Amino acid sequence: MSQTVIGLIVVVFLVVLGQVWLVRRQAMHLRRQKGQGSDRSNGDMTPDYAIARTWLVAWRAALGGAVFLAWTAGGGLDAFTRWSAGWDFPPLVHDVGMIVAVALSWETVQWTVGGYGRFGIERRFGFNRTTPLLFLADTLSKAGLLVGLTTGLAAAVLMTGGSWFAAWAFWTGFVLLGTWVYPALIAPMFNRFTPLPPGELASGLETLAERCGVSLRQVLIMDGSRRSTHGNANANGFGRTRRIVLLDTLVDLLTPGETVAVAAHELGHLEHHHVTKYHFLVAAVSLIWITAFGWAVDRAGLLDGIVRGEPDFATALAVLVAATPVFSVFIKPLMGFFIRRFEFEADHFTARHADGEALRRALLKLHQRNATPHTADPLYAAVYQSHPQLDIRLARLETL
């Protein structure tokens, strides 16, 4: 076993161990909150549910690390190369097939952990409404999308002849295009979106738009109740595909005034161009990561001992696909920092243009419905939580 392989195993082990340590800190924090009776969101169920969901992070990290090591230190890429050597296809097909297989193996981890979370934890605490047949249909649809999109993207990158900058450019373009077409083409494959019907809520949103001096192109209600009782809302899309989506579970839970406040928060994301800023941030971080990985492969011999013979660009690209989910944990604190800032800005927008008190009530109701704790371990929150802790968020709202 080469020093590179040993070093890789040690690094992955430490990365996974660090995440398990953070999860354990969060679980201990939640147990202390339960023991002190200080969590106000949903009685005794909240810490138990949150603890169970938190440990999924550790399982995902451990399984992802195992898959990465299986492809690299375990000889998975060499085994695939020898097996695919009997294919009577052009080399490009072999290379694309290897990359698609690596991507599918990681998605298998996601589906496994997600399936347990859905039918183990979510069902146990009464949140799940997804049937096994619907989950299977969702999984197969996502697998088909993954295979098709990964095939096209991998083929385009490989045909550049081995340029890491081209790999970054294609990936960034793919993400931006996906963000633009997702609301119109992909999301309707999984959910039904209906225009907001006339009534008090629609009138409130019209008044909000006039007060803000903006045009609300699309405010849609999504049938989230088909899969879960959790309530939520989001803003997505670029340009003409910009829209605000309210889950039907949220609309059923909140009063019209509270729903308008939530929509104002999402409108704040759009007016502050948070979707665009987020993707620019992703593009910058991706450029640094891919450049550093390319340097490690081309100049530092990262793949020496991992694959037999001289590693080619396709093999390196497959390792990049396998490594990104494992080592993205180092990027999460930076991304979380900016996303939390975006949330505070959207709250400020709501306090200026709508009803901050209604947003406060809505947040409390949503945390109650979703069994989300009000506080978190600071280190765990810095790495994993994209939204601010509720107590901090409510304190800032009160100052506004």
pLDDT digits (tens, 9 = 90+) for 87-113: 888 889 999 999 999 999 999 999 999
Give the number of domains in the chain.
2
Q: What is the domain extent for residue 266?
A: 193-271+336-399
8 and 136 together in one domain: yes
59 and 203 together in one domain: no
- Find, among 172, 192, 181, the residue nearest to 240 by Cα: 181
159 and 86 together in one domain: yes
- CATH number for 388: 3.30.2010.10
pLDDT digits (tens, 9 = 90+) for 1-47: 677 788 889 999 999 999 999 999 999 999 887 766 555 544 445 68
326 and 242 together in one domain: no
pLDDT digits (tens, 9 = 90+) for 161-186: 888 999 999 999 988 888 888 888 88
pLDDT score of 264 more than 80: yes
283 and 220 together in one domain: no
- Whole-model pTM: value is 0.88
238 and 371 together in one domain: yes
202 and 340 together in one domain: yes
59 and 105 together in one domain: yes
180 and 107 together in one domain: yes
321 and 215 together in one domain: no
Report the distance separating Cα 142 and Cα 394, nearest Å.
Answer: 37
Of 330, 348, 375, the position where a domain reaches its end is 330
- Find, among 224, 223, 215, 262, the residue nearest to 243 by Cα: 215
Of 330, 351, 372, the position where a domain reaches its end is 330
291 and 310 together in one domain: yes
